[in-house]
Amino acid sequence: MTNKEFYKICSETPLGTNLSFNTGDDQVRGSFIGCTADGVVIEANGQSFIWPRELIEYRKPDYQIPSYS
């Protein structure tokens, strides 16, 4: 993850946003809590995890988020 991508995640992601992280064969889904200098903090299964920046690949979903008016 580049510094620009890390800054974007930390500054533009609303608290509680659902995030998905892959760890080889496992996938962890949790809620965004915030950032530290070392990574992204998520809450999953009642526990907080710091996901190291070096292991994060920034991708947005391919589908468009619906807007309601």
pTM over 0.85: no
Tell me the per-residue pLDDT of 23-64, one tens digit each, with 9 for 90 and over: 667 777 889 999 998 888 989 889 998 888 887 776 666 656
pLDDT reported for residue 59: 66
Q: Name residues whose C-beta falls within 8 Å of residue 13's C-beta, 6 or more positions apart in sequence.
A: 19, 32
- Residue 69 pLDDT > 70: no
Q: Where are the domains of the chain?
A: 3-55
Q: Name residues whose C-beta falls within 8 Å of residue 15's C-beta, 6 or more positions apart in sequence.
A: 31, 32, 33, 34
Most confidently predicted of 7-16, 22-31, 60-69 = 7-16
pLDDT reported for residue 19: 84
Rounded CA-CA distance 21/41 in Å is 11
